[in-house]
Chain A
Amino acid sequence: MELQKKIESALPGAEVTVEDLTGGGDHFRAEIVSDRFEGLSRIQQHKLVYDVFGDEIGGAIHALSIKTSCP
């Protein structure tokens, strides 16, 4: 899936699971396990993921639910 590839290439080594919640291609849930999150607050972790998509959030991607954790 395109979303998953984008996250994986932005956060190398991350374990990424993406689910299309509605099948419509605009509501997603992503679970990301990455050592890049180590030492970051949740806000900072989620921002790292949002930054991958920039303006697409709220545009083409209507909703992206994120769960981040460290390995």
Chain B
Amino acid sequence: MTNDEIRSFIENAIKENKVMLFMKGVPNQPACGFSARTAGALNALGVQYAALDILPDPRIREELSGLSGWPTIPQLFVDGELVGGSDIVIEMFESGELAELLGAEPPEQPFEPEPQPEPVQRGIGLENRLD
């Protein structure tokens, strides 16, 4: 795939999915604590969302950040607009704004995601899985 193809794939994913999450790993098997918390918040609200693992090709992240102007992963888009990364999403989850934005029932209990160990020692280039 060329970089242009990757970029238009990302653009389409954002356009075609009301709730689109770009993350490290997949919702069932997140590869980073920040991605885990963000997917966990969406799961807790029971909303449907699409998720794309950015790890298989480093260009996905490059093109995504170029497009959004947001340097970190995860990135959550709703109705084509960047909502934020994990800090913002968790803040909005806790305040009930995320539920409101997504038309979901507000969470009954405060969100307490299980702590996820961060891969502390690894540099950015080594995070991409080779399989």
Contact = CB atoms under 8 A, between A and B. Distances in A.
Residue from the set A22, A24, A46, A59 with the largest chain B CB neighbour count within 10 Å: A46
Interface residues of B, number: 19
A43 B88 contact: yes
Interface residues of A, number: 19
Chain A interface mostly: mixed
B91 A67 contact: yes
A47 B118 contact: no
Contacts of A50: 70-72
Contacts of B102: none
B84 A46 contact: yes
A59 B61 CA distance: 13
Interface string A40-71: 00110011001000000111001111110000
Interface in A8-33: 21-22, 24, 26-27
B118 A27 contact: yes
B124 A62 contact: yes
Contacts of B70: 43, 47, 50
Contacts of A64: 72
B22 interface: no
Nearest to A67: B87
Contacts of A21: 118
29 contacts: A21-B118, A22-B118, A22-B120, A24-B120, A24-B121, A27-B120, A42-B88, A42-B91, A43-B88, A46-B84, A46-B87, A47-B69, A47-B70, A50-B70, A50-B71, A50-B72, A57-B71, A57-B72, A58-B71, A58-B72, A58-B124, A59-B124, A62-B123, A62-B124, A63-B34, A63-B118, A64-B72, A65-B34, A67-B87
Interface of A: 21-22, 24, 26-27, 42-43, 46-47, 50, 57-59, 62-67
